[in-house]
Amino acid sequence: MTNSVTGDAVTVKVTLRHSNNHGSIEDYARDAASGLLKFYAGAFHCHVILDHQKNDHDQNKLAEITVHVPQHDFVARESAPTYEQAIDNCIDVLERQLKKFKEKQKNI
């Protein structure tokens, strides 16, 4: 199931795999991805994939977030006991990647 929402400068697409409809988790993922605007000022597209892994009982919620900015793609993939924790871990990784990218752009 895939839903896409377009905001001011960010387009967030959420895909659920092996799971039922989780509207609150989709909203949480959209809000978290929209928070990346403070680390990258331009418009970007974000694809959030939420997956339920059956083979791991402790860390069975998987989140993968791909951020597409002009000429670059940033990817974070994390697993956790809950979707919210996995999303937060991915956002932390993407924040570091976007900060590093922003620093490189300043030095050019």
CB-based contact 45:33 (threshold 8 Å): no
Looking at residue 9, what is its pLDDT? 74
Structure tokens at 17: 């795999």
Reported as a single tens digit per residue, the pLDDT across 82-96 is: 999 999 999 999 999
Domain that holds residue 12: 2-107
Residues 37 and 30 sit within 8 Å (Cβ to Cβ): no
Q: Give the number of domains in the chain.
A: 1
Write the CATH number for 59. 3.30.160.100
Would you state the pLDDT for residue 2?
Answer: 54
Q: Give residue 18's pLDDT.
A: 75
Q: What is the pLDDT of residues 27-75, one digit of tens each?
A: 999 899 888 888 887 778 999 999 988 876 777 889 999 999 888 999 9
